[in-house]
Structure 1
C-alpha cells in the first residue's frame, strides 16, 4: 500500500531535506508541498493524504491552528455526505520543548529539526502501524483514534498547565571527572553528542551530561537561549563568537570557549541562522 503524504514547512531547505529522506521509503509518495498554514489546510482538503508532515512554527497560522481548522472542517463534512478521513500527522519542530512533551503524552509523533534519517524511518514505521491498527479500531466507532489523539493534544495545549509552559531549571548538572558540578546555563557554550555521549563545553571547562539524547538535554535548557544548529550540536546563541562562511552557502559557528571550537550549521538551520543575526 502506498502512503500519500504532504510536506508543510515555511523553510524550503527543510522541505527539500525531508523530501530527500523520504525518497528511500518506497511506499511513500509525496503528492504536494506547502509553505504555510493556509496552504496546509487547502492541500489537505484537496488531496486527502494519508500522512502530513507539519511544521509547528510557521508565521500566521501555526501547526496547531492548522490542526484545529482541519478538525473543524472534517467534522462539518463528516456530518454530510462527503466525509473524508483525517490523515496521520507527524509534527516537525525545532524550538518548542513543551510541544514535544505534549506529543509524547498523546502518542502523536514528531521530528526534531534538523531531520535525522533514522528518526524519519522510525516515524514512518509508527505511521504504518497506526494506519493498520486505526482502521481496525475505527470500525463501529463514531470517532477515529486519530481524531481522539488530536483532540487530546489540542486540549492539553489550551489548558492552563499548557499555557504556563514550565520553565527549565536555571542550572545544569555536568560531570567533570568524579565531580558533579552545577553550571549556570548562560556559561555553557555548546553541547555535542558523539557515540551516545553528550559533551558539555563551558568557557572554563568541559564535562559530560547525564542526558542520553540531545532531545532530553534540550528539555532542560532555556529554549530562548539554546539552538540546535545541527543534529549533533546545541549552541548557546549568546556564546557565538563568529559566524564563519563555509562551503556551498553554509556556515560554521566559532564559539566562545577556550579552543574557539567551530561547529557546523545544518542546511535546514541556515535560514534560522540568518534570522538570528540578520545575515
Structure 2
C-alpha cells in the first residue's frame, strides 16, 4: 500500500518509519513536513494511505484533507492530542493514533488496513453517513472517558441498555456511549443486529447456542459466554430470521 507520512517533526517521521519497517505491505513512497508539501506529493505520487499529523504550521491536517482534489487516500491520524478524535471520525479516518505511538496499537491498525483491502468498503461523507444504515463492515468511533476506539461494528457482539447509555461489548472492552437503544436500533442493519428484548441488541453473527426458555422465549449464548434472553414476542421473529 503506497504510503505518505505527513508530520512537521522530523524525529516523529523517522520514528514512524522505524515502526513501520516490519510491515512489508506498507510501502513508504514519501514524506512531507507540512500541508503544502503533502498536497504536491499526493498529486505526484498518488498514495493510497496517509499517516497524517493534525497540528502543523500553516494548514492543519483537516485543512489538508479538505484541499485534496480528486480521490482522497485512506487516513490514519497521528497526533499528541486526543481532543480531535471525534472530528477525525467525521473524515472517515481508519484510525487515530496518539503519540508516542504504541507498537501493539500500530499492529492492530495495520491489521485493520489489511482487512479493508481484503473487504473494500464504500466510504461516505459524514452528512451521508448520518442517515446511513450501518452494517458489520462499518467502522464507528467510540469514546468513553479518556479512552477512545475505532471499531468495526462486526466486532461488537452485544449492545446493552444502561438507562440513558448503551454499553458496547467487543473484545474485552465494555465502554458506555450516550445513546438510547432505540436510537441505535434505527441505525443498525436488521439483518445482522437483532433486538432481543427491551435491554439488548445482539449481533447474530456471534450466536453460538440457542435454547428454549420460559414462557415461549429463547436463551441465546454468544461467543464469549454472554447469555441473553429473547422475549416470547421477539422469539417468533428470531426463528424466522435464523430459519429455525
TM-score by length of 1: 0.43
User: Looking at both structures, which has the greater relative contact order when contacts are Cα pairs under 8 Å and sequence separation is at least 6?
Assistant: 1
Looking at secondary structure, tell me which structure has more helix per residue: 1
TM-score by length of 2: 0.49
